[in-house]
Structure 1
Amino acid sequence: MNRPTRRQFLQYTGAAAAALGTGGLVGPARAEEPLKIGVVYVSPIAEIGWTKQHSLAVDAVKAELGDKVSFTVIENIFMPQDAERVFRELASSGNRLIFGTSFSHGTPLQKVSPRFPKVAFEHCSGIVHRANLGSFEAKYYEGCFVAGASGAHMSKSNKIGFIGGFPIPDIVGPANALLLGAQSVNPDITCNAIFLNSWFDPGKEKEAVNTLVSQGCDVICSMTDTATGVQVAGEKGAWSIGYASDMAKFGGGKQLTAFTLDWSSDYLRAAKGVLAGDWKSEVRWDGLAAGVVKMAPYNEAIPAETIAKLKQLEADIGSGKVHPYAGEIKDQAGNVKVAAGSVLSDSDIRGMNWFVKGMIGKLS
């Protein structure tokens, strides 16, 4: 697998620049040629976290398809102007399938994909779709609901904490689900929320954990691309909930569980589709039932009968028996957002820009 650095990639000139000017369309590869696949990561590949899970999906494709595929992976591309240049270069260099792995890659993909109609683009966390631009996403809120229930069983202060990268629907929705899951066990529990406005800032994340602990939160969930939240919570004696990867090894024995992400089925489906010539732009949104969201092993400190209840909750959410956003649900101001007997629609979940009652914090 080729892995040029960000600096090397963005310094490409000459022939590549000329190709960018033509919008160079990529025709079908010869039978003996591997399918060239480009993948752009929003952060460096670490031992755990969001980008690590995408790298594991790449490994799954390589393991199953072998020499039928060839990858070019670019790490640490967050700024839109950089991402646009990278996606154009990948498309002009013969990659017939290209993955963007962050919400921040959305606008660049929307600009680049129309210029390369014979290239298949896949966007994780995407909200705009075209004939050659599909998207895939996880129902994080399902795992958050279960994790919140685990936290409520172990909290003594009736206060949990949430740290998010940015106040976007993909993060606001899971934050709400965390509290709703906790309130399904203890209606009196509350959740303090802090947003870092960064996916990768261990220093700010450490400060956020310290703040939440000082506010009395004894269970901390952090949706960022580091294990800092789990690690610092453990050092402070608070329980933690991991995100994307199982972070138990960093938690000092205090991680209750983690809602992990397995993108392998999305990557394999796209690669096989392009190889077979029948790839289609799709909107895929899967959770516990499909195995895209998985719960990490529960902490042995949780009573066995409680673990059994949590596993049953997983199954009930997967089967549809339990929906994390079933009414009645009120917002912070006490307004009814989901009536009793109703369930929040998928479109409203994916566009969630409000906090549920019991959340303490602002969407900023």
Structure 2
Amino acid sequence: MNRRQLLASVAALTTISLSVPAWAQNEPLKVGFIYVGPVGDGGWTYQHDQGRQAIEAEFGDRVETTFIESVPEGADAERAITQLALAGNKLIFTTSFGFMDATINVAQKFPDVKFEHATGYKRADNVATYDARFYEGRAVMGTIAGHMTESNKIGYIGSFPIPEVIQGINSSYIHAKKVNPDVEIRVVWAYSWFDPAKEADAAAALIAEGVDVILQHTDSTAPLAKAQEAGAIGFGQASDMSNFAPNPRVSSIIDNWAPYYLDRVGAVLDGTWESKATWAGIGDGEVEIGEITDAVPAEVKEAALALKDQIGSGEYHPFTGPLNKADGSEWLAEGQVATDEELSGMNFFVEGITAQIPE
């Protein structure tokens, strides 16, 4: 994790500018997308594809977009990205953490193609990275969860034990604990971004442990369906998942990628594209909170929305001390705020979480 933290720090401090001409207007800019799940997953990939469609709506015949869905992370990703490059796509978005090395490898072979990798930290002259501060939305969800649990046990379905996911678990627990000192959090790892069967099994395992509120960092609606069966509540992940509202889905964390995609396509078209690292959140409109339903008491809804506004304005940071690590050692002193470098390399749970992070 130290290597990741160092690279993330470099990415945050360095911007590589490219001198590029404006796009020739007599031919459309071909823009390709690589998705880890199906466009109909109702979550992560669905939201990225909404961004792709926003590109078409905004730029019309100046662009031509295409996508390859359900691409496994690993060797298959490198083949799929290469396929898009060979097909003439001059801007390629690779939309999952596990596509990182494949993106860098293909970018070395196609220096005239610009690549954008979501949630990663490796960059090059023709590779930019972009991410969302999901932990901000998790703070709001955690606040609702802490208020709503009757068993004082909330559950979290994690995909992979990477900093982005660990941030979300910590943020959810910290803010649930703030409003409910008796709350506990149970964590189950699915080891997949999108696998409805595994996600349903994970939700069932949590419910069997007495959990009555489920959060997730996986992409399907399967945990909500399982929560519905058991009389538990849950939250939309990545997209609104409003088909499960007003109960069990009581709110959602929504990834709004469209503004970023419009900005980056526009930059290629006008010749101002540059390789940089972007990490946006609630205040930027990239992380949104879905409607909080009437299943949530009015005073809880008010508290959650007040927290959202405080985070969005910069008045409050979800990782503000005093906070200790799970082993009891001090992490953040009273009033101290975590740096982006610390968050980018997060490899520990905060005090009070008894779950283990897999190696």
TM-score (norm 2): 0.91
Q: Give the superposition deviation at 1:331.
A: 1.9
* 1:62 match: 56
Q: Is the 8 A contact 1:230 1:251 kept in 2?
A: no
Matched residue type, 2:325: D
Matched residue type, 2:137: G
* 1:348 match: 342
CA distance in 2, matches of 1:333, 1:47: 37
The change in CA–CA distance for 1:168 and 1:222 in structure 2 (over 3 A counts) is same
1:176 partner SS: helix
Q: Is the 8 A contact 2:25 2:62 kept in 1?
A: no
Please give the per-residue CA displacement for 1:222-259, whole angstroms capped at 9, x wherever unaligned: 11110111111121111112210112313672212111
* 2:25 match: 31
Matched residue type, 1:324: P
* 1:110 match: 104
1:318 matched to 2:332? The reply is no
Moved more, 353-362 or 128-137: 353-362
CA distance in 1, matches of 2:333, 2:186: 24
* 1:363 match: 357
* 2:3 match: none
| Equivalent residue runs for 1:101-250 within 5 Å | 101-250=95-244
RMSD of equivalent CA atoms:
1.6
Q: Is the 8 A contact 1:41 1:75 kept in 2?
A: yes
Q: Give the superposition deviation at 1:356.
A: 1.2
* 1:287 match: 281
Q: Give the superposition deviation at 1:47.
A: 5.0
Q: Give the superposition deviation at 1:217.
A: 1.2
CA distance in 2, matches of 1:203, 1:251: 22
CA distance in 2, matches of 1:129, 1:76: 24
Please give the per-residue CA displacement for 1:134-192, whole angstroms capped at 9, x wherever unaligned: 01100000000000001111111111100011111111110110101111212231110
In the alignment of these two chains, the number of paired residues is 339
1:360 partner SS: coil
5+ residue gaps, structure 2:
1-19
Matched residue type, 1:60: A
Q: Is the 8 A contact 2:247 2:295 kept in 1?
A: no
CA distance in 2, matches of 1:273, 1:261: 21
1:136 partner SS: strand
* 1:83 match: 77
Q: Give the superposition deviation at 1:29.
A: 5.7
* 1:49 match: 43
CA distance in 1, matches of 2:283, 2:140: 14
1:327 matched to 2:321? The reply is yes
Matched residue type, 2:299: E
1:316 partner SS: helix
* 1:18 match: none
Q: Determine which structure has more spread, i.e. the larger CA radius of gyration.
A: 1
Matched residue type, 1:113: A
List structure 1 segments (4+ residues) > 6 angstroms apart after TM superposition: none
CA distance in 2, matches of 1:230, 1:76: 22
Matched residue type, 2:81: F
Q: Is the 8 A contact 1:261 1:294 kept in 2?
A: yes
CA distance in 2, matches of 1:29, 1:273: 9
CA distance in 2, matches of 1:148, 1:256: 12
The change in CA–CA distance for 1:236 and 1:350 in structure 2 (over 3 A counts) is same
Please give the per-residue CA displacement for 1:12-67, whole angstroms capped at 9, x wherever unaligned: xxxxxxxxxxxxxx998642111001111111111511000000000111111111
TM-score (norm 1): 0.90
Q: Is the 8 A contact 2:81 2:106 kept in 1?
A: yes
Share of identical aligned residues, percent? 39
1:353 partner SS: coil
1:74 to 68, 72, 78: 68
1:71 partner SS: strand
